[in-house]
Amino acid sequence: MSQSLEFRVLDWLTKQGFPLEMEVASIAKATGFEVSQSDYYLDPESGDAREIDLVLSVHSYIGNFSLSYNLFVECKSSRDKPWLLFCTPNEIGEELTRENRLQFIDVESAFISNELGGNLLLQSTFNQNLTNLFPRLNTQPLLGYGITQAFAVAGDAPFKAMMSATKAALSHTKRMGTMGLLSIPFLFSTPVVVIDVSLLAVSFSSDTNELNIAEIPSGSLFWKHVIDGRSRIGVYIVTKQALPEFFAKCYASARWWTSQDEETLEPIRAKKYGPRNPQ
């Protein structure tokens, strides 16, 4: 291969999204995740096969139970067009009080899980035992409700990226979330979008009646778009610079999620399927 051709190819690649996807995959593997690149899923609305950039997973088998933590990652490279996350103050915070319990549950419903996984999440919520679960919408001071790309003249890259990651998470959970012959699944899935540009939080100050704009390493979106009959989904936007720390926290959470014991899981199974038949 001539140096001229190599230079031209490298120059073209730097203008595409492939290097970002490969870099994100490398960081995820180094963190400990099982990584699948250019994976496919069935669109839960149209049934068409579509591609997702990355699926990051941690799995475990405990007795007859299987536990799975998954991140469905879409990578977007735009370099000179920052993303704007429109936010309001997150009034829930870390404390679960009587006054904000219903609002807390509403936000926590943004998780994507199968029924058994959702029941485990609900049990953990009422036991105030979600501190090990990451990412969570109530961990940041600002909660996003909309997003766009500044200076863009055509298309809607944030919407398309969130749609792809969310549909992949919903499709996987629906397909893998029913009880199989070999194991009883507890699934947790999260859509993530990784960008290589600045992420700016835009909020309104009631004190000054002005917009506040601040650069943030990552942000969360309480997305209310309806997909396959489902709305109110948590989507996470992460800059490349913040990725190592974000993945490290996700991996620690995945290890916690996949290390639940049979004493915790069996009552949740029994509530749905009834007592086990004696051997």
Report which of residues 127 and 147 the model is more confident about: 147
Please tell me the predicted confidence (pLDDT) of residue 101.
47
Rounded Cα distance between 128 and 249, Å, is 19
Classify 6 as helix, strand or coil. Answer: helix
Residue 237 is assigned to a structural domain of this protein? yes
The verdict on residue 48 lying in a domain is yes
Q: Distance (Å, rounded) from C-alpha 188 to C-alpha 140?
A: 20
- The pLDDT, as a whole number, for residue 46 is 92
pLDDT the model gives residue 29 = 97
Nearest to 57 by CA among 180, 163, 192, 242: 192
Contacts of 140 (CB under 8 A, 6+ apart): 90, 219, 220
Domain annotation covers residue 8: no
Total domains in the chain come to 1
Band of pLDDT at residue 102, cut at 50, 70 and 90: very low
Dig out the tokens for 75 from the structure. Answer: 């990578």
Q: What percent of the chain has pLDDT over 90?
A: 56
pLDDT attached to residue 181: 60
The verdict on residue 13 lying in a domain is no
Per the structure, the complete domain to which residue 90 belongs is given by 18-271
Give residue 154's pLDDT. Answer: 67
Does 277 reside within a domain? no
Question: Tens of pLDDT along 113-123?
Answer: 999 998 888 77
CA 259 to chain centre: 20
pLDDT of amino acid 133: 85
Give the mean pLDDT of the chain. 85
Q: Evaluate whether residue 5 is within a structural domain.
A: no
CA distance 112 to 188: 6
pLDDT, tens only, 207-256: 888 999 999 999 999 898 999 888 889 999 999 999 999 999 999 999 99
Determine, yes or no, domain membership for 10: no
**Mean pLDDT within 145-170:** 90
Count CB neighbours of 255 within 10 A.
Answer: 14
**Residues 47-62: pLDDT tens digits?**
999 999 999 999 999 9
State both tokens at 266: 């069996």
Does the residue 101 lie in any domain? yes
In this structure, how many other beta carbons lie within 10 angstroms of the beta carbon of residue 117? Answer: 23
